Amino acid sequence: MNKGAKAQPRYGLFFGCLIPNRYPGIEQSARKVIEGLGCKDRFADIPHAACCPAPDIFYSSDKATWLALAARNLCLAEFRRLEIVTFCNGCYASLLRATEYLAEPKTMGEVNKVLREIQMKYTGVPSVTPEGRRILEPVKVRHFIDVLHRDVGVDAVKAAVSNPLSGLKVAVHYGCHYLRPTSCSTIEDPSDPHMIDEIIEALGAESVDYKDKLGCCGAGGGVRSHVFDLAAAISKEKYDNVQSAGADCIVTPCPFCLLQLDTVQEHFTGRKIPVFHPAQIIALALGVDKRMLGLDLHRVSGNDVVSRFGGV
Q: Tens digit of pLDDT per residue, the chain (312 long)?
A: 544 445 567 999 999 999 999 999 999 999 999 999 999 999 999 999 999 998 667 777 789 999 999 999 999 999 999 999 999 999 999 999 999 999 999 999 999 999 999 999 999 998 888 888 888 999 999 999 999 999 999 999 999 999 999 999 999 999 999 998 888 999 999 999 999 999 999 999 999 999 999 999 988 766 665 567 788 889 999 999 999 999 999 999 999 999 999 999 998 888 899 999 999 999 999 999 999 999 999 999 998 899 998 754
Phi/psi at 85 (nearest 5 deg)? -115, 115
Whether 158 and 202 have beta carbons less than 8 Å apart is answered as yes
User: How does DSSP assign 51-77, residue by residue?
Assistant: ----IIIIIHH-HHHHHHHHHHHHHHH
Given the DSSP bridges, would you call strands 11-14 and 43-45 parallel, antiparallel or unpaired? parallel
pTM: 0.93
What does the pLDDT read at residue 5? 46
Q: For residue 242, how many other CB atoms are within 10 A of its CB?
A: 26
Q: In this predicted structure, what is the pLDDT of residue 61? A: 74
CB 164 within 8 A of CB 13: no
Domains by residue range for the chain, with CATH:
11-142 (1.20.1050.140), 161-307 (3.40.50.11810)
Specify the pLDDT at position 22: 94
Judge contact between 73 and 102, C-beta under 8 A: no
Cα–Cα distances in angstroms (integers) from residue 243 to residues 122, 170, 178, in the given order: 47, 11, 23
Q: Is 135 helix (H, G, I), strand (E, B) or coil?
A: strand
CA angle 151, 155, 159 (to 5 degrees): 120
Nearest CA among 54, 32, 42 for reference residue 12: 42
Residue closest to 48 by CA, chosen among 24, 74, 26: 74
